[in-house]
Each structure stands twice: as structure tokens, then as C-alpha cells.
Amino acid sequence: MALIEWSPEFSLGVAELDDEHRDLIQIVNQLYQQIQSGRYQTTVIDALEQLHTSAAGHFAHEEEMMRTHAYAAYEEHHADHRRLLAEVTAMIDQCQDGVDDDEAMARWLYVWFCNHFKTHDAPLHQLIGVSP
């Protein structure tokens, strides 16, 4: 069972960014499946590290686009990217220390993607001229 299903509302209309969003959803869903299956700690850590790397690359690409278009909410959006990456790093640290809460991690993964998209990414639709 997937935690997040791709929806047209997640599309920005920029193929590269949309592909990156799909990839992030796939990584989140794989991580969720590992959590649900009573996974091995190292597997979850590896998946969290993959999520961090992929998200960091996506965020850099998105931020470049925002700078190119002189996006007024750039600083707020950038700050949320940094916060999200810091939270993934904290999860990795907690897992390495043997302290993790699978239910909280799964809930955070869902909220992370959906809330960030709705509050920060969705306004980019207007910037680039694509209706949500």
C-alpha cells in the first residue's frame, strides 16, 4: 500500500520538476513499505539517506527556477527546504542511535510531502503559468 499516490495537483507543469516529485513520492512510498514491514534499521537509514540526497537535489533545482523567475516567496520556501532536510537528518541520527518511532516517521513522511507541496510548491503554478 502506498503512503502517497501521485495526483495531478502535484504537477507544476515543468517536466523535470514533476519527474523529481514523482521520484520523491516513490522514495517516500518505498521507505513507508520498509517501515510497515518491520524493516531492518540499516535499510531504513539507507532509504532516509536516499530521500535526503534526492530531496536536496530537487530543492536545488526548484530554488534555481525560483531565482530565475524572481519568485517573491523564495526566502520562505528556501527556509522550508532547509528545515525539511534538517528533519530528515535528525531522523537518520535517531535511527542510528536506535531511537525511532515508526508511526511518527510514517506520519511525518506524508505530512512532509503533502503539506510542503500545498503550502510552498502549489504557488509556483501561478509563477510558471500552469493551473493546478
Q: Enumerate domains of the chain plus CATH numbers.
A: 16-122 (1.20.120.50)
* Residues 58, 24 contacting (CB under 8 angstroms): yes
Q: Contacts for 36-43 with beta carbons within 8 Å, 24 or more apart?
A: 36/1, 36/102, 36/106, 41/95, 41/98, 41/100
- pLDDT per residue, tens digit, the chain (132 aa), is 788 888 887 887 788 888 988 999 898 888 888 877 766 667 888 889 999 999 999 999 889 988 988 899 999 999 999 999 999 999 889 888 887 677 788 788 888 888 888 888 878 766 765 444
Measured CA distances, 124 to 8, 64, 74 (Å): 14, 13, 10
pTM: 0.80
